[in-house]
Structure 1
Amino acid sequence: MRDSRFHTVIEPFRIHSIEPVRLISRSERQARLDEAGWNLFALHGDDVLIDLLTDSGTGALSNEQWAAIQRGNEGYAGSPSWFRFRDAVHELFPFKHVIPTHQGRAAEKILFGVVGGSGKVIPNNTHFDTTRAHVEFSGAEGVDLVVPEGLDPRNRHPFKGNVDIPALSRLLASRAEDVPLVMVTITNNSGGGQPVSLANLRAVRELCDEYDKPLFLDACRFAENAWFIKTREPGYVNVAVADIVREMAALADGMTMSAKKDPLANIGGWLAMNDDALASECRNLAILTEGFPTYGGLAGRDLDAIAVGLRESVDEDYLRYRIASTAYLGEGLERAGVPVVVPFGGHAIFIDARELLPHLPALQYPGHALACALYVEGGIRSCEIGTVMFGMGADGVERPAPMDLVRLAIPRRTYTHNHLDYVIEVVTYVARNSDQIAGLEIVEQPERLRHFSARFAPLRKVETAA
């Protein structure tokens, strides 16, 4: 319980063990980036000082999770670990069928492998990278229907992750027979980690009922979304986060989950639903690709770690610290004049690279160029969310993404405010010298998810402004 007399939000934990990091020189970092083909995913982790590439699976486990790992039972079928996992999921998401998977993208692969296909269309507020890839790999089309405010980095709308209800209504009216399900991503990662309101979810539910379509949640940041509902949506300030999560789940027919995000695990996920026939198809596919339905590609110890992490994820002292620490980074960058997406999301701060680097057109990848500069100057690894990630359409034609952002994703329970102060200092330095950042070209890329393995080369260096 927070003492209302004091304003400092402290970490609701003590450090139990440490992992050393090392600082290499700027020239060494430049050499490592050249060797990696200017792709930050290809760097050796030991060459990164502060790793904000992703918040997925990169957080610290609690002592209770480590204890649960010792209780893990590795029985192939029906182990006690499975039942502890299933019951923990049902406490928050009481869907009839729960199918564990080794991570969230496996749940997406199974779901869209069953419901997708040529001619199908999947509406979402905004598909993230693997979600869109699995939709398109099935032959279906992913359509993003976020509210207009969600595409404006400067707009301070409290729920910029909301679905554009009129746009969804028009899509269903014209192509209902092609829509196997409607999906909503909470929080909306691609748009800056922005939350979705319960009022908006209810409106989506009403449209789904009108057209007899199931509603699925991409729910990997469910706890952060619930916290924003509690603190931003009228009528919820006195409602427990866990109860808000249950209310969100009650509006849906199923979900995909990466347990590497809000459930505080290093690996794992699940697919859940109420429909018996759909669950049977998905379970059979999971057996082919993941393993028996009571372990789903996970060790029993992982299932136990997720079960504990789920309960810890809705602890309100933890969430208050989590959201406040992210805001601390955002506020520091705002004070320094760095353009960032507002209001701040829960898991990351997103820099508006298109605004910071106006001399670089979208097809010279300003987001990725900025991310590379942050690594070279300060050893900070981040991730482009823009034209590299989303610019290549399913038709093979490259177009500018709606926004070019750099995501500074904060691993859970991992970095201190001193680390974040260093990030602020490095980003501020790079921003003040942003006119020296050159664009990039892609010299090698795969057909899908190119940001993971493409190789880049810098274009002619921009002269420093007089």
Structure 2
Amino acid sequence: MSDEPFRTIIEPFRIKAVEPIPITTEGERSALLEKAGYNLFKLPATKVTIDLLTDSGTGAMSDKQWASLLSGDESYAGSRSYERFEHIVKELTGYSHVFPTHQGRAAERILFEAIVRDGDVIPNNTHFDTTRANLEHRGGVALDIPVVSEPGFGGNMDLTALERALRGNQRIPLVMMTLTNNAAGGQPVSLANTRAVRALCDRYNVPLFLDAARFAENAWLVKRREEGQHGRSPEEIAKEMFRLADGCTISAKKDGIVNIGGILATNRDDWAQLFEELEILTEGFPTYGGLAGRDLEAMAVGLMEALDPDYLKYREATIAYLARGFRAAGLPIVEPPGGHAVFVDAARALPHIPPAELPGQALAVELFREGGVRSVEIGTLMFADAARMELVRLALPRRVYTASHVDWVIETAERVAARLADIRGYRIVQEPPMLRHFSARLAPV
């Protein structure tokens, strides 16, 4: 018997229920794209073969999560489901005030409505789309200060730029850090960087909040990549990260592995009172927060399942496998790959398409046209002038697809890579004033 570990990383679960997926023709997909105005958000899911648009709310719940639904207490106030949920969140984060919300952006809205005033500046390693939109809706200024280069931890915050901002601006009500840094290629934030940000916040007496939607994946990458952290569990690392901050927002649709749900939590008594008032106004009583009791039960289970080392090892290996396939196909990606997605550098893949003609969207359209693979642009279409990169994100839903599905995505990428020079850009023909990527209509240039 050999003690050597197996080379093959298997899915650490068995499949109990299946859902058919559609296989369409290229002609059908081209017609669907035209009808959708070349906006992949407008495609019917029933026509998508492999859906990598987002990892948010698209994961598969475990048998324990499904069983927990039957324990849901639907009492309007003070339900036992909330008590279980609150206990898990407090144990994980160390925060004394816990507010469930229906999803992460609801937590962001409550936080910013309570704290941000017109002209306030919020530094962040990089704000993601809904965070930026909720902040700007309040009249705030989103200040992105990602590190320029940090091997293995490209999600870190630029400490020099942060200190410059804190020293020179009296209108900073809080600092935020996004774990992992989704808009910067899904790169993790190191524990050392978080500690340093905490020290600067203490020096200038400014609270620190985490956007911790992918807290478990960030903790796993800290364990794998950061010196001095290899012997710690993901749970231990996550707990320290949370305790370095004054509070957090979480979309539990990511590392809560549920289809709906969010969290707003803090240690600040003064802010908690404001959060409670706003939650009652728009989300519901603070012990249900716009969710059914059964959703709280599933969240409580999922938050702990996301920290399982075997699950996280498999997830990292799946992302790495997809990344290797894209490299071999000749598509440039953000390196090293993060914990939830592969990000293709569309600006490098399509140098003949300028940012104004949306190279990321052009590449995403072709991935769907070629193989029915839905991805999302993270670039000029999503962020307009604030875009730092032109990326296409392929986010893997948790516990949904097998290695064969990933092989299909890689083969699709190979076919698209063979005709990159023939791909043309797009122009916007209709757009809303905010979050335009969700509903804009486009046309080929």
Does 2:372 correspond to 1:379? Answer: yes
**Residue of structure 2 equivalent to 1:369:** 362
Q: State the distance in 2 between where 1:110 and 1:439 align.
A: 38
Equivalent residues of 1:226, 1:241 under 8 A apart: yes
Question: What residue in structure 2 maps to residue 433 of structure 1?
Answer: 419
Match of 1:314 in 2: 307
Paired residue secondary structure (1:149)? coil
Preserved CA contact (<8 Å) 1:363 1:400 = no
Letter in 2 for 1:456: L
* Cα distance per residue 1:281-339 (max 9 Å; x no partner): 01100111100000000000100000000110111000000111111100111122210
AA aligned to 2:411 is: E
Deviation at 1:435, TM superposition (A): 1.2
Which amino acid is 2:315 matched to? Answer: R
Question: Structure 2 matches for 1:13-412, cutoff 5 A?
Answer: 13-149=13-149, 157-175=151-169, 177-391=170-384, 399=385, 401-412=387-398
**Cα offset for 1:4?**
4.2
Q: Within 1, Cα distance between the matches of 2:327 and 2:224?
A: 21
Distance in structure 1 (CA, Å) of the matches to 2:314 and 2:172: 40
Q: One-letter code of the match for 1:53?
A: L
Cross-structure match for 1:153: none
CA–CA distance in 2 between the matches of 1:405 and 1:215?
A: 28
Residue segments in structure 2 that go unaligned for 5+ positions in a row: none
> Residue 450 in 1 paired to residue 436 in 2?
yes
Give, in angstroms, the shift of residue 400 of structure 1. Answer: 6.9
1-structure distance, mates of 2:30, 2:233: 48
Query: What residue identity is the alignment partner of 1:458?
Result: P
Separation in 2, partners of 1:91, 1:16: 31
Q: Do the aligned residues in 1 keep the contact of 2:329 with 2:417 (CA within 8 Å)?
A: no
Deviations 1:95-152 (A, max 9, x none): 01001100000000000111112110000000000000011000010000000127xx
CA contact (8 A) 2:119 2:171 kept: yes
SS of the aligned residue for 2:149 comes to: helix
SS in 2 for 1:178: coil
Give the aligned residue type for 2:251: S
DSSP 3-state at the match of 1:65: helix
Contact 2:159 2:196 in 1 (8 A): yes
Q: TM-score, normalised by structure 1?
A: 0.94
**Contact between 1:208 and 1:214, CA under 8 Å: does it hold in 2?**
yes
| Alpha carbons 2:329, 2:413 under 8 Å: kept | no
Cα deviations by residue, 1:239-275 (Å, 9 ceiling, x for unpaired): 1111101110110000000000011111000100011
Superposition deviation, residue 431 in structure 1: 1.3
Q: Number of paired residues?
A: 444
Say which of 409, 412, 415 aligns to 1:423.
409
Q: Please tell me whether the aligned partners of residues 230 and 237 of structure 1 are also in contact (alpha carbons under 8 angstroms).
A: yes
Match for residue 396 of structure 1?
A: none
SS of the equivalent of 2:66 reads helix
RMSD across aligned positions (CA): 1.1
> Counterpart amino acid of 2:196?
A
CA change 1:8–1:179 in 2 (3 A) is: same
